[in-house]
């Protein structure tokens, strides 16, 4: 373990507006405030520089992409260096002509780019047309080494996949972070919305529990309107950013307003919890081969006695 | 899908006493009552025929084991046939001399043994010395075909492993069932007990969400005392059996008293939920190879651009 025993993480839950400069100001102001309040690490929401452009499939939106490192990375790096905090940001990455990613960038407190994570699981659902924009990541589930230790950064849709959290943990991640942009389709009724929000928090708490690691999630907030042509549906980003400990116990949780959360991670507790709930000990690695299959039932006949 | 659109599952949450005959009576009475109330499937707690003998490592306890099929399987089969319900029971299985399993038995409503599941993940912790008694299962994560459809039965400690739930789902399980025997060490303080119980429910709800399937868990209840020699610690089995739908939404949950729960599973809902939350669609099977490794960080250097 590197860094302080109590790791204070700032979570910037902010809305995203039409003007990118305004969004960058929200992000950098959040970093500054979090650092002033004692954060050593600050997490921003997914694609915090822009309106959630994946509401429609529009080739013009590729103009929003930028290289990594590039302007957003450099602005975040400057703020990280200025405030002496590690920053997890999110960039619409132009890797090559016709090849774009949804990429998390990790800037250490000296402003150096510690690493990137390119979103591995890409959704494609009404209002979230991400497969049009993003090539799935090809870096795998590789945590990033920083001055604060080894950090497992993933992005939004990855949060529904226990495989992702497990692989990050097996690669030594001490904490899992999820920049996110998820919300309600306002056509859904209230009980359905509640189930969706609950399931989103629950599955991420489940990753904390299964792997014995803290999980912190920074979600976007605010309503982004339907397009005039009716193709884009209004999304009410549900906020509810949170942090939980290695038993999935909620440490902090936001509502649906812009906010800055401070999550205190008691890092030695991870070791304590894992001693009493040693799930990594009993994994049946001899019996997990089927996990890299798309689908399929093995023979249902038990072995002969 | 086979069987009724609304599948009613009876969950028998009962304590286990010193005399096996008394426990069998609790199990069969529970099956009868559940059937009278309309259950088509009844789930019993883990190792419901006995006190939780794994509180100590005592060679004499192997006398409690029996073959499958054997007396318990046959008694449950008779009750299943009599009540025309499918029954999931749990047996301390003597497979061969010196070779014992913690085995779930699935009896169909005609009394036939549809299949068995031998607990794959075996714990070994203070008060839960299961590795002394049980050889880990060698059948893999294979669901059982019944007149009600394909049922994914696992046992207790398996419930902490997302890999297990995923493999059952990929093999076609339409619902996941967990006979369990888990409780508090009465030496733990109340906040710790609450965290443990919450994490246990949360991770199972997480399996429902990740896989888009209902989950039903039948836990033992009651306090089983410490041994006179102080080796066995008192366990207060926490009950809290529950059923949830494919979004992890709680359908029914017990407290810590003996009870019979009736869980109504709306089976077509699984299909609806999976259409809107299609997690199986986006799995990165090309990137999951590391899941059958014990531990290890891949290279942290991203691919060259």
Quick: pLDDT tens for A131-178: 999 999 999 999 999 999 999 999 999 999 999 999 999 999 999 999
Average pLDDT estimate for A269-294: 96
Structure tokens at B257: 């008293």
The percent of chain A in helix, strand and coil, each rounded to the nearest 5, is 35, 30, 40
pLDDT in tens, A80-96: 999 999 999 999 999 99
Write the residue in A138, A292, A300 that is nearest to B288 by C-beta: A292
Write the residue in B248, B284, B300 that is nearest to A142 by C-beta: B300
In three-state secondary structure terms, B292 is helix
In contact, A169 and A211? CB cutoff 8 Å: yes
Beta pairing partners, A250:
A244
Write the residue in B138, B198, B286 that is nearest to A303 by C-beta: B138
In contact, A54 and A109? CB cutoff 8 Å: no
Query: Which residues 166-195 of chain A have a CB within 8 Å of chain B?
Result: 166-167, 170-172, 195
In contact, B122 and B134? CB cutoff 8 Å: yes
Does residue B57 have an active-site annotation? no
| Cβ-based neighbour number of residue B149 at 10 Å | 20
Structure letter (DSSP) for residue B237: E
Does residue B156 have an active-site annotation? yes
Query: Which residues 3-62 of chain A have a CB within 8 Å of chain B?
Result: none
Of the candidates A16, A83, A119, A130, the residue annotated as catalytic is A119
Burial of A299 per CB tally in 10 Å (0-12, 13-18, 19+): exposed
Chain A CB contacts of B144 under 8 Å are 300
Write the residue in B162, B198, B207 that is nearest to A248 by C-beta: B198
Of the candidates A16, A54, A83, A156, the residue annotated as catalytic is A156
Distance, in Å, from the CA atom of B217 to the CA atom of B176, rounded to the nearest integer, reads 8
Q: Does A250 touch chain B if contact means CB atoms closer than 8 Å? A: no
CATH number of A6-292, picked from 3.40.1160.10, 3.90.470.10, 3.30.1330.120, 3.60.110.10: 3.60.110.10
Distance, in Å, from the CA atom of A34 to the CA atom of A37, rounded to the nearest integer, reads 5
Select from B66, B63, B73, B65 the least CA-distant residue to B24: B73
Domain ranges of chain A: 6-292
Q: Does B228 touch chain A if contact means CB atoms closer than 8 Å? A: no
User: What pTM, to 2 d.p., does this model score?
Assistant: 0.96
Structure letter (DSSP) for residue A174: S
Write the residue in A123, A160, A172 that is nearest to B297 by C-beta: A172
- The lowest-confidence range among A116-120, A281-285, B39-43, B124-128 is B124-128
Q: pLDDT confidence of A241, banded at 50, 70, 90?
A: very high
Structure letter (DSSP) for residue A137: P
Structure tokens at A61: 């939106």
Q: Does B280 touch chain A if contact means CB atoms closer than 8 Å? A: yes
Cβ contact B142–A299 (<8 Å):
yes
Distance, in Å, from the CA atom of A15 to the CA atom of A258, rounded to the nearest integer, reads 7
Of the candidates B16, B54, B83, B156, the residue annotated as catalytic is B156
* Regions in chain B scoring below 70 on pLDDT: 1, 297-305
Structure tokens at B89: 């029971």
Chain B CB contacts of A209 under 8 Å are 160, 199, 202-203, 206
Cβ contact B294–A283 (<8 Å):
yes
Q: Give Cα separations from B101 to A275, B33, B42, B148, B301 (angstroms).
A: 25, 29, 22, 26, 44
In contact, B200 and B220? CB cutoff 8 Å: no
> What integer pLDDT is reported at residue A59 of this predicted model?
97
Structure tokens at A154: 């993933």
Distance, in Å, from the CA atom of B273 to the CA atom of B210, rounded to the nearest integer, reads 11
- Give B2 or A49, the one with higher predicted confidence: A49
- SS3 string of A83-127? HCCEEEEEEEEEEECCEEEEEEEEECCCCCEEEEEECCCCCCECC
Distance, in Å, from the CA atom of A134 to the CA atom of A142, rounded to the nearest integer, reads 19
Q: Give Cα separations from A162 to A168, A169, A286, B132, B263 (angstroms).
A: 10, 11, 18, 30, 26
> What integer pLDDT is reported at residue B227 of this predicted model?
73
Closest chain B residue by Cα to residue A173: B297
> What integer pLDDT is reported at residue A300 of this predicted model?
46
Distance, in Å, from the CA atom of B145 to the CA atom of B11, rounded to the nearest integer, reads 20
> What integer pLDDT is reported at residue B305 of this predicted model?
62
Nearest 10 degrees: Cα torsion B234, B238, B241, B244? -130
Select from A49, A45, A39 the least CA-distant residue to A13: A45
Distance, in Å, from the CA atom of B246 to the CA atom of B205, rounded to the nearest integer, reads 8
B contact test, residue of A125, A153, A282, A299 with most B CBs within 10 A: A282
Distance, in Å, from the CA atom of B262 to the CA atom of A217, rounded to the nearest integer, reads 36
Average pLDDT estimate for A95-105: 98
Distance, in Å, from the CA atom of A135 to the CA atom of A121, rounded to the nearest integer, reads 10
Q: A174 to chain B, minimum CA–CA distance in Å?
A: 12
Cβ contact B121–A196 (<8 Å):
no
In contact, A210 and B162? CB cutoff 8 Å: yes
| Cβ-based neighbour number of residue B275 at 10 Å | 10
Which secondary-structure segment (H or E) carries A80? Answer: helix A71-83
Cβ contact A141–B287 (<8 Å):
yes
Phi, psi of A255 (to 5 degrees): -90, -150
Count helices and strands in chain B by DSSP H and E runs: 6, 15
Select from A102, A110, A29, A17 the least CA-distant residue to A68: A102
Chain B CB contacts of A293 under 8 Å are 170, 285
Distance, in Å, from the CA atom of B127 to the CA atom of B227, rounded to the nearest integer, reads 10
Q: Give Cα separations from A131 to A157, A182, B278 (angstroms).
A: 12, 16, 14
Structure tokens at A117: 């994570």
Distance, in Å, from the CA atom of A69 to the CA atom of A193, rounded to the nearest integer, reads 37
Select from B4, B9, B79 the least CA-distant residue to B251: B9
Longest CA span, chain A? 69
In three-state secondary structure terms, A188 is coil
How many residues are present in chain A? 305
């Amino acid at each position: 373990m590197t860094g302080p025993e109590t790791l204070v993480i700032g979570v910037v839950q902010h809305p995203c507006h039409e003007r990118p400069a305004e969004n960058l100001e929200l992000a950098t102001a959040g970093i500054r405030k979090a650092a002033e309040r004692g954060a050593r690490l600050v997490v921003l929401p997914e694609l915090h520089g822009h309106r959630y452009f994946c509401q429609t499939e529009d080739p013009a939106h590729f103009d929003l992409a930028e290289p990594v490192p590039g302007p957003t990375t450099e602005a975040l790096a400057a703020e990280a260096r200025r405030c002496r905090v590690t920053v997890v940001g999110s960039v619409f990455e132009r890797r090559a002509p016709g090849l774009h990613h949804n990429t998390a960038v990790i800037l250490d407190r000296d402003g150096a780019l510690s690493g990137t994570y390119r979103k591995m699981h890409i959704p494609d659902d009404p209002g979230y047309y991400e497969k049009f924009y993003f090539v799935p990541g090809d870096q795998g589930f590789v945590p990033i080494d920083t001055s604060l230790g080894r950090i497992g950064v993933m992005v939004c849709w990855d949060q529904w996949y226990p495989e992702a959290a497990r692989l990050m943990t097996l690669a030594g991640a001490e904490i899992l972070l999820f920049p996110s942009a998820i919300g309600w389709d306002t056509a859904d009724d209230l009980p359905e919305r509640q189930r969706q929000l609950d399931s989103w928090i629950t599955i991420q708490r489940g990753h904390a529990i299964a792997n014995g690691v803290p999980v912190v999630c920074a979600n976007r907030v605010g309503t982004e309107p339907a397009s005039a042509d009716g193709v884009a549906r209004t999304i009410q980003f549900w906020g509810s950013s949170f942090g939980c400990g290695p038993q999935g116990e909620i440490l902090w949780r936001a509502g649906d307003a812009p906010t800055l959360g401070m999550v205190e991670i008691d890092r030695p507790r991870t070791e304590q919890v894992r001693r009493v709930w040693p799930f990594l000990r009993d994994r049946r690695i001899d019996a997990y081969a089927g996990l890299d299959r798309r689908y399929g039932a093995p023979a249902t006949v038990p072995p002969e006695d």
